[in-house]
Structure 1
């Protein structure tokens, strides 16, 4: 029996029913506020460029080439918002200073590229729409072994953070034996906090209130609800830099990718007291930092034994490794304080001629031995 056919002039009409609450949904008050703030920031950008590249706000001093000398105070305030100038400062390597640290810029680029590469594949593997056969081909490639390595690339940033924090703060605090006063100590913490808090607050509220209106699709609303459930329940956890503890579950965190900032801030909080100890007694200071590295190794070993965590980061006892290892400070502080030890050694090496007694430290003795041996030359030749 032949299948029935439709006339050539027949029309097929599909009826799609959309819930009234979706059609009637209007932008929330929170979204409107965030968009107004965003518009205000864009306005400041435009005004900053207008002041920077015109004669608006000039104070009459045309002899100087520096804009700081030619503009009035209110104009300089707007100039500081110029996105072009700020991007130039961000991506320009300054002349002068300690040029031996310029190598860290390359380390940052390689590390962030590795992190982006790893997350790009992670989002594909964890998404609801994927081609399993294509993933299988990727997994069988020898080059794909580089991708899971991004799991450890974050520790590079902890290393750099520990290195720079200790190297720079020790150089400021050592001449005063660590006694910089309560006010200066509080300013160190305040400077660190306000540099991080404003962009993080903006990103959190933008994610909470605006993201739901800039996408669509069968999984979009579900994903948005999952991402923001904890944000509405615990909006203050990120602001206090305790979101890697509350909520405990990594999957329930608000904008969970800021777990790195939580750990980094927690490490930074205990760094000035450790630096004071080092300034008062170098041997005890190094011993304390070394002890923290060993403690981190012991804790990770115990957790791996208790929860039977394998090298691929999975637990045979159905324990979410992210909740007890991945974003917790006791697991990440090893890399930070290894960087701190290198920061101490860098300070002692670079200031050995400036401060009496530094030339006889264990780091400088090791450096002299390596310098006078053929090991470095062989490594360079290889």
Structure 2
């Protein structure tokens, strides 16, 4: 009780000192404290750190309203304090109290904000108006898409063949509207053909599990950003040995870079083999076309609808950390330069640094593929040189910026290294090297393929030798576990100083990500050559296929879901592992549901529009029937292309698969 009265007294003094000509707030507060509202004010005002008081009781009491102080603290995060005051008070009158507390904190508190939640308003800006107009037009187009799908509107003729795709009988305009039909896109998401003979289907499971791993890491990381009733327990969270793999979720992002480079190089090499040239303009356009509309719509959704989805004592601060800078920096996210400029991981959908990195890395891919065809050995030398150069650069930056081995120990890593593209480029190059080698293996399995390439020999040895497969399996898991557990001493010293010195930190920071994805690549060696039945069955199950398609949007929306959940808290969160894990599984379920919704409405329409209107499949030429069936090795050539054409991580157009099949039949015919 005494603490509450002291807080109220400080508020009144700060208000009077701020503006003696307007003592109305202080006078009204003194009057309320001396009347029947005393109990409500004392009950609804916080008494200690991160005590939000009783938000609903204060807001439900006539003449009172609830407000919250938010103090940024070193080295990361916020602490909160809720207060209940007369409704004639303004945030400008109460805010000086926060500034007074900053002076008494000896530098621990960095800045202070105060808001009355009832007075919060979202300014109507031209960008928000544009956002609402865009979503309104999209809603109309979605309705037209459903009408076009289930009626004869825009039909070219009186009827179509029974069982044929409805798009075949539609005009170009009809196909355009059909691309935006939510029901059609939802059906394609869950009922697309599944190639059970494709060894690369195991990457579906890898993609989904990596996405879940990322979200698990963020579940714990976000406890730093929410009001916790026991904040002193935060360092204790990191002590159990079983907890140490959880920060390893940050490596899962590198897995995405590895998969992007592996699939991108392998498929682009396959395409180049057929045409003997690469249309760089179309490659980059296709990549931008697949990603930019999704980023645009997500950011504008955050600035429009998402801003109105919550309420509560900390909703304003929690919401603003992800959207406050969007009106001024959204262009950097749409052009994928946000990881370089403005370079801040927060302020506007901060986790989209991943897409910026991936787009920047992709700029190298066509040139390196072209170099591979011109001079295969030189391309390997260039890839290894870029990898080595990246390791040296990261080691130097680690020492230069005094960065530790763990982002939990030294959050400066997030600003200087962790969120920067040069920290991840090594993982991308590892993926490209394995993509080269896997292409050589697949090509070598064809009659005209070379059997002398390093990729063919390497993967063929894995295919033949069960002992070698198990050796790589154990070695790969061992490498991944070492990269995760070796920083346990630093993780356990969370926010309390580093255990490992600068030399070790430099070596670890430069090697950990490339080695982690190399370990994963070794584990997957057996499955992608058709061996290691357990992993093939588990990771290559049909179950993962639809969720692999929404993994991209699950990553895009999961922190919005976290913020929406924790940002509407009426009481501070009691930290413990059970509570965090329980909320994690709830966020996973909601994130996948929301991601499915967004994937159907935001992502799938542009992919369908590309297939049906912009780059429709070429008509297949009639091929004479073969007297004999082509060999199994020929039929496996370039396997796995079909399921990957819809992946936003792969740069290719729809006609790749059609042309590949035509080319395959021609080669099969010639071989006989």
Shared fold (TM-score greater than 0.5)?
yes
Q: Which residue of 2 aligns with 1:341?
A: 433
In 1, Cα distance between the equivalents of 2:148 and 2:461?
A: 57
Q: Which 10-residue stretch deviates more, 104-113 or 219-228?
A: 219-228
In 1, Cα distance between the equivalents of 2:351 and 2:190?
A: 24
Q: Does 1:276 align with 2:370?
A: yes
Q: Deviations over 1:203-230 (max 9, x none)?
A: 2223234433332223333344443343
Q: Which residue of 2 aligns with 1:257?
A: 351
| Structure with the higher fraction of residues in strand conformation | 2
How far 1:299 sits from its partner (Å)? 1.6
In 1, Cα distance between the equivalents of 2:395 and 2:267?
A: 32
For 1:1-382, what aligned pairs fall within 5 Å after superposition?
A: 14-16=62-64, 17=87, 19=90, 22=119, 27-58=124-155, 59-66=157-164, 67-92=166-191, 94-96=193-195, 99-132=198-231, 138-177=237-276, 179-180=277-278, 184-252=279-347, 254-313=348-407, 320-354=412-446, 358-376=450-468, 378=470
How far 1:145 sits from its partner (Å)? 2.4
CA gap of 1:371–1:77, structure 2 versus 1, over 3 A, is closer
Q: Which 10-residue stretch deviates more, 58-67 or 161-170?
A: 58-67
CA gap of 1:364–1:245, structure 2 versus 1, over 3 A, is same
Structure 2 alignment gaps of length 5 or more: 1-34, 38-60, 65-86, 92-117, 472-531, 535-672
CA RMSD of aligned residues (A): 3.1
CA gap of 1:204–1:373, structure 2 versus 1, over 3 A, is closer
In 1, Cα distance between the equivalents of 2:439 and 2:533?
A: 28
Q: Deviations over 1:234-288 (max 9, x none)?
A: 3321122111111133345x32111001000001111111111111011001111
Question: Greater relative contact order (Cα 8 A, min sep 6): structure 1 or 2?
Answer: 2
Aligned residues: 366
Q: Which residue of 2 aligns with 1:5?
A: none
Q: Which 10-residue stretch deviates more, 36-45 or 17-26?
A: 17-26
**Contact 1:259-1:327 at 8 Å conserved across structures:** yes
Greater radius of gyration (CA): 2
How far 1:45 sits from its partner (Å)? 2.2
Q: Deviations over 1:279-328 (max 9, x none)?
A: 10110011111111222222222222223322222676xx7212221122
**Contact 1:162-1:340 at 8 Å conserved across structures:** yes
CA gap of 1:340–1:355, structure 2 versus 1, over 3 A, is farther
Q: Deviations over 1:47-98 (max 9, x none)?
A: 3223323444443124342212333443332221112221333344534597
**Contact 1:61-1:69 at 8 Å conserved across structures:** no
| SS of match in other structure, 2:456 | helix
**Contact 2:132-2:304 at 8 Å conserved across structures:** no
CA gap of 1:374–1:95, structure 2 versus 1, over 3 A, is closer
CA gap of 1:374–1:118, structure 2 versus 1, over 3 A, is closer
CA gap of 1:116–1:284, structure 2 versus 1, over 3 A, is same
In 2, Cα distance between the equivalents of 1:23 and 1:285?
A: 57
CA gap of 1:91–1:135, structure 2 versus 1, over 3 A, is farther
How far 1:35 sits from its partner (Å)? 2.3
How far 1:349 sits from its partner (Å)? 0.6
TM-score when normalising by structure 1: 0.84
**Contact 1:118-1:148 at 8 Å conserved across structures:** yes
**Contact 1:34-1:210 at 8 Å conserved across structures:** no
In 2, Cα distance between the equivalents of 1:56 and 1:176?
A: 38
In 2, Cα distance between the equivalents of 1:276 and 1:129?
A: 54
Structure 1 alignment gaps of length 5 or more: 1-9
| SS of match in other structure, 1:238 | helix
**Contact 1:308-1:315 at 8 Å conserved across structures:** no
In 1, Cα distance between the equivalents of 2:138 and 2:151?
A: 20
How far 1:333 sits from its partner (Å)? 0.9
TM-score when normalising by structure 2: 0.50
**Contact 1:48-1:80 at 8 Å conserved across structures:** yes
